[in-house]
Amino acid sequence: MALLDLSLVTRSLMKLLELNINEKFFGGEITFTVTPEPPEKVGAVENKVSLFCYHVAEEAFYKNFEGAGSGGRNISRTPMALCLYYILTPHHETVNPEDDALTQQTLMGYALKTMHDYAIIHDNTQIDGQTILQGAMYANDNPLQIIMRPVSPEDSISFWGAEDQQTARLSAYYEVRVVLLEPEETTTLVAPVLSLGTYLYQLGTPHLAQSESALAFTLPSTAGGITQIAEVTPARVSGDVGADPLHNRLELGGHNLAGASPRRLWLRNQALTTAVGGPLPIDLSIATNTTNGWALTINDERLELDIYKSLAYLDGGGVEQSVSMLPGIYTAFLRVTTRERIVGGVLVPLTVDSNEVAFTVIPRIAGDAPDGPSNKVTLTLVDTFDLELDGLAVRLYVDGEAYAAVDDTDNPGQYEITGPSTLIFHALFDVETDGEHAVRLIVNGAESAPYWIETSTP
């Protein structure tokens, strides 16, 4: 994750030096400290090193990366990759100049070994149980690489001649990379590519062309307040059974879908793979599935599927289990048993699979409740999955503004998940002023149906 505060990098390096040198070399007998000041400003101190960031340069490798989204000023949505350059200088001045020079060399050795031993700093880097990365750098994928620069003696003299007009001091020069400078928020996104291929298939085998569904949503009152139904492809469905119009029905178009040979529809998704190790068949011979509303109709060119919020299956031991149909991007394929043969005394089916087509299972917003005194809004979702599950990637946008996930919505622009089907966000707009506010809820890459919060003056 990119950051704006470059001082966090310096603070992390300072903590690395202080913890390691105090713990490993001084053992608490002497207090060793680090300052971010330029070396000529440190003055008469004891047992201190200065770590001064004197230069910043852009990392060329990341320079031409495309930014996210499809709007204007695309470059502003690309994180700027930086290399920070530091000069490390030991400081120790007492009434005995000869001993001071030797002590400075000792401190320098400790500092050099520390920077060498911790050439890469990441979230798991700790000294004496304390995390090195500071503030927003921690737990946000911000590793640092420390590289000692091969500065020649002549170049170091040039540095001090330009900066301090005095004899060159004992110093080391480091490059710290790659620091990503925070980009602008993405306001528009290009449509995801859900299928890719040459679209060649064997004659006579099943082939799926696309997925379709009817997406129902209600317009705001100023636009009539009526329910609109849009035909969308790829399909966007949810597992709420019994809605009118249907929210849980998708259609798969193709060729050679029906026939005398046994065939079964399979679903693939990352959550399914994590839960059961691979794709799952829709087994309508399991009574739980048909009772819950799973239904499948197949003809030669169209397949119609009604889904539910969970899918029952039989595990390797023949025991019935259930897995949630979490929001996300799924693919479906048809597996046809062409014939059976006996192998080693066991009847083994020979199958052929169709290509896979994508569809999304989406969250649906059921309602909202603005609260004027707190300027917060509670969103209630249709009960098709548990918002509090670990591992869900939840993103909330209102009026095009991204809201940050927190544990307590103290500030505007934040939201918190408060229950299996509820979340509360602290609005950036006045909930007691007449208006309509578009809401986008994205869970695991699947976006909810269009929804507007309507506010009014009390």
Query: Topology of domain 365-455, per CATH?
Result: Immunoglobulin-like (2.60.40)
Question: What are the DSSP E strand ranges found in 17-72?
Answer: 33-35, 48-58
Task: Please tell me the pTM assigned to this model.
Answer: 0.64
**Closest alpha carbon to 146 in 159, 160, 133:** 133
pLDDT of residue 229: 92
Question: Tens digit of pLDDT for each residue in 344-380?
Answer: 778 777 888 888 999 999 999 999 999 999 999 999 9
The arrangement of strands across the sheet holding 249-255 comes to 227-232, 207-218, 249-255, 302-306, 295-298
Q: How far is 377 from 367, CA to CA, in rounded Å?
A: 10
Pairing label, strands 48-58, 80-91:
antiparallel
Distance (Å) of CA 20 to CA 107, 110, 302: 12, 9, 67
97-117 and 7-21 helices, crossing angle to 10°? 110
pLDDT surpasses 90 at 320 = yes
Higher pLDDT, 269 or 168: 269
pLDDT at 155: 75
Alpha-carbon distance of 389 to 381, in angstroms, equals 14
Q: Report d(CA 447, CA 217) in Å as an integer.
A: 13
Q: Which range (14-18, 212-216, 334-338, 403-407) has the least confidence?
A: 334-338
- % of the chain at pLDDT higher than 90: 61
Give CA–CA dist 15/130, Å, rounded. 9
Q: Is the pLDDT of residue 19 over 70?
A: yes
Closest listed residue to residue 182, CA positions, set 56, 83, 84, 79? 79
pLDDT tops 80 at residue 106: yes
Give the domain ranges of the chain.
Answer: 7-181, 207-361, 365-455
Mean pLDDT of the chain: 88
User: How sure is the predictor about 410, in pLDDT bands with cuts at 50, 70 and 90?
Assistant: confident
- Burial string for 391-407 (b: 16+ CB within 10 Å, else e) reads ebebbbbbeeeebeeee
| Paired tokens of 50 | 């200065």
